[in-house]
Chains A and B, each alone.
Chain A
Amino acid sequence: MNSEKSTAQTKTVIAGIQGGKFLSFFLQDEEYGIEILKVQEIIGLMPITRIPRTPDYVRGVINLRGKIIAVTDLRKKFGMEDIEQTSETCIIVVQTNKMEIGVMVDKVSEVLDISGSEIENTPAFGASVPTEFLLGIGNTEGGVRLLLNIEKILSAQELVELCSENLELTA
Chain B
Amino acid sequence: MSKVEQQTISSLKQIRIDLDLLQPDDPQTLIQIGAGLECIAVNLPEEYFSASELLGHCLETLQAMFHGKASDFPQTIRLIAVALLAVEQSVVSTPNPITEAIIKQAKELLQNGITGEEIENIAQTDESFDNLKDAVSDLSTLDAVANWLIQIEPEDKEDVIRLCDALKKLSSQTKESSVKKLLTKAARETDKIVKGKAGDVQETLTLIGDLIGQASPSDTIEEFAGQTTTPVEKSNVTQISQVKTPQKEPVQAEESVADIESYQTEYAADILTEDADISLLMEFVTESHENIEAAESAFLLLENEPDNLENINTVFRAFHTVKGSSAFLGLKRLTELAHHAESLLSRIRDGEIRCMGGYANLALRAIDMLKEMFVSLQDALEGGVMVLPQAYGELLHILTNPEAAGISEKADTSPQPSEVIKTSESFDNLSEEDLDSIKIGDILVEMDSITPEDIEEALLIQKRLRTGTKQQQPHTESSVRVRTDRLDRLINMVGELVVAQSMLAQDETLSQSIHFEIARKVAHAGKIVRDLQDLSMAMRMIPLKNTFSKMARVVRDVAQKCGKVVEFVNDGEDTEIDRNMVDLIADPLVHMVRNAVDHGIESPDERERSGKTRSGKVRLSAYHSGGNVVVELADDGNGLDAEKILQKALEKGLIESDKGLTDHQIFNLIFAPGMSTNDTVTDVSGRGVGMDVVRRNIESMHGRIEISSEKGKGSLFTIRLPLTLAITDGMLVRVGTERYIVPTVHIYLSFRPSSDAITTVAGRGEMVQLRGELMPIVRLHSLFDIKGSVENPTEGSLVIVADDKRRCALLVDELLGQHQVVAKALGTGIGKVPGVAGGAILGDGCVGLILDTAELVALARQTTNQFYRKGNSLKKVA
Contacts and interface: CB of A to CB of B under 8 A. Distances in A.
Interface stretch (B361-369, B454-462, B492-500, B748-756): B492-500
Contacts of A100: 827-829
A68 B786 contact: no
Q: Which of A66, A69, A98, A163 has the most CB of B within 10 A?
A: A66
B847 A61 contact: yes
A28 interface: no
Interface stretch (A33-41, A52-60, A139-147): A52-60
A18 B652 CA distance: 73
A66 B841 contact: yes
B716 to A, nearest CB: 42
Interface stretch (B296-304, B413-421, B831-839): B831-839
Interface string B759-788: 000000000000000000000000111100
A78 B273 CA distance: 51
B825 interface: yes
A53 B829 contact: no
Given A52-B785, A65-B496, A163 B833 contact: yes
Interface stretch (A81-89, A109-117, A118-126, A153-161): A153-161
Nearest to A160: B831
A67 to B, nearest CB: 7
A63 B841 contact: yes
A119 B503 CA distance: 47
Interface string B617-632: 0000000000000000
Given A61-B847, A156-B831, A50 B826 contact: no
B833 A51 contact: yes
A53 B835 contact: yes
Contacts of A65: 493, 496
Top-8 shortest CB links A-B: A52-B784, A160-B831, A99-B828, A69-B827, A66-B496, A66-B492, A70-B827, A99-B829
Contacts of B826: 51, 61, 68, 70
Contact of A52 (B783, B827, B841, B848): B783
B409 to A, nearest CB: 59
Nearest to B781: A52
What class of interface size applies to chain B in its complex with A? 20 to 34
22 contacts: A47-B846, A49-B738, A49-B839, A49-B849, A51-B826, A51-B833, A52-B784, A52-B786, A52-B835, A52-B836, A54-B830, A61-B827, A61-B830, A63-B841, A66-B492, A67-B492, A99-B827, A156-B831, A159-B830, A160-B831, A167-B834, A171-B863
A57 B464 CA distance: 74
Contacts of B217: none
Nearest to A47: B846
Given A60-B847, A99-B827, A159-B829, 9 more contacts: A49-B846, A52-B833, A61-B847, A63-B846, A66-B493, A66-B495, A68-B826, A70-B826, A101-B829
Nearest to A155: B829
Contacts of A101: 827-829
Contacts of B832: 160, 163
Contacts of A61: 826-827, 830, 839, 847, 849
Nearest to B824: A68
Given A50-B738, A61-B839, A159 B847 contact: no
A160 to B, nearest CB: 3
B828 A62 contact: no
